[in-house]
Amino acid sequence: MSDVARLAGVSIKTVSRVVNDEPAVHPKTAERVLAAIEQLGFRRNLGARNLRRGSTGTIGLIVEDVGNPFYSELNRAVERIATAHDRHVLTGSCGEDTERERELVYEFSSRRVDGMLVVPAGDRHGYLLPEMRAGTPMVFVDRPPGDIVADTVLVDNFGGTVQAVRHLARHGHRRIAFLGDRPDVFTATERLRGFREGCLQAGLRYDERLAVLRTPTLESVTDVVNRLLRGPKRATAVIAGNNRVAVHLLRALAHVTPRPAVVGFDDFELADLLNVTVIAHDVGRLGEAAAELLFGRIHGDDSAPRKVVLPVHLAPRGSGEVAP
């Protein structure tokens, strides 16, 4: 730093102010300091800087599965915001396992992350209160926490599914099936709630045999297709409750005729080429909104916890616009 100060013709204190982005430095002076830094190839000592500001320079992101394209898009958006705030992202997959979620929170916490973004697996989060009181901000993404009040960013699961049912009903469908993720996944039960409300609004009888919540695998989805979407009493349309269900459903339906109408919740890559109508939302926006909220907290925003619900929209592409 003294070399930089000498080259720029300023005091060491001024160099320090510029490096730490403190105010009260004339722009011209700051420019000269930055040029001197550039010229000397001065590399900030991150460890020292982090110690000084009491930060490890990392935030934690806990999702169900970093390999699921939905979460990798979320990860990319979070990384974008984190980079702008000079932070790195520690990621972990909890695989819908509440024990694993808790382990990851403790691990990240013991690594002193500056904050955490959590797509929670479980619905009990009292265990987080000590970490939160100790000053680690937490923002819940895509699903709310169970038994505590905390910042949460969601999409309109309920409204989107109501819209899907009404869309299919407008195209003449009276028997619509809903195939969602496990019943302990918040988005699955919210979308199921939207499904029931949509049936009500469209004047359809809600038939609980047509609503199935299960871990989406090719096997489980194929089984439901065989039970509900074939034979004389079959449903003529189906709503896929998330991107994983949709992908398995497309495979399971590959050789089924007549083919039911399909609307998926969540957009996914190549859905357009496969003509799949979806309830779309911007996963990038979801990640950005959550990360921005988190950095607001890290920078001292201590207002009451917020709940943000992002809008969704129907993208008609063919599969949802066929008559029974």
Q: Is 258 in the site for a copy of itself (CB under 8 A)?
A: no
Q: Are 55 and 114 in contact (CB under 8 A)?
A: yes
* Segment near a copy of itself (CB under 8 A); pick from 87-95, 142-150, 160-168, 192-200: 87-95
Q: Is 259 in the site for a copy of itself (CB under 8 A)?
A: no
Alpha-carbon distance values, 198 to 114, 155, 162, 188, 252 (Å): 42, 17, 4, 15, 25
Q: State in angstroms the smallest separation of the CB of 33 from a copy of itself.
A: 20
Q: Is 91 in the site for a copy of itself (CB under 8 A)?
A: yes
Residue 278: which region, alpha, beta or left (left: phi > 0; alpha: psi -120 to 50)? beta
Instruction: By CB under 8 A, name the one of 89, 164, 213, 298 that touches a copy of itself.
Output: 89
Q: Is 257 in the site for a copy of itself (CB under 8 A)?
A: no
Alpha-carbon distance values, 309 to 56, 120, 144, 154, 270 (Å): 30, 17, 11, 5, 26
The residue among 231, 242, 177 whose CA lies nearest residue 204 is 177
* Segment near a copy of itself (CB under 8 A); pick from 30-38, 102-110, 122-130, 196-204: 102-110
Which helix (H) or strand (E) segment holds residue 171: the answer is: none
Tokens standing for residue 281: 């939302």
Q: Are 153 and 310 in contact (CB under 8 A)?
A: yes
- 199-238 footprint of a copy of itself as x/- string (CB under 8 A): ----------------------------------------
Q: DSSP letter for 183, please.
A: T
Q: State in angstroms the smallest separation of the CB of 304 from a copy of itself.
A: 31
Q: Is 134 in the site for a copy of itself (CB under 8 A)?
A: no
Which residues contact a copy of itself by CB under 8 A? 43, 45-47, 56-58, 65-69, 71-73, 75-77, 79, 88-93, 106-108, 110-112, 247, 250-251, 254, 269-270, 272-274
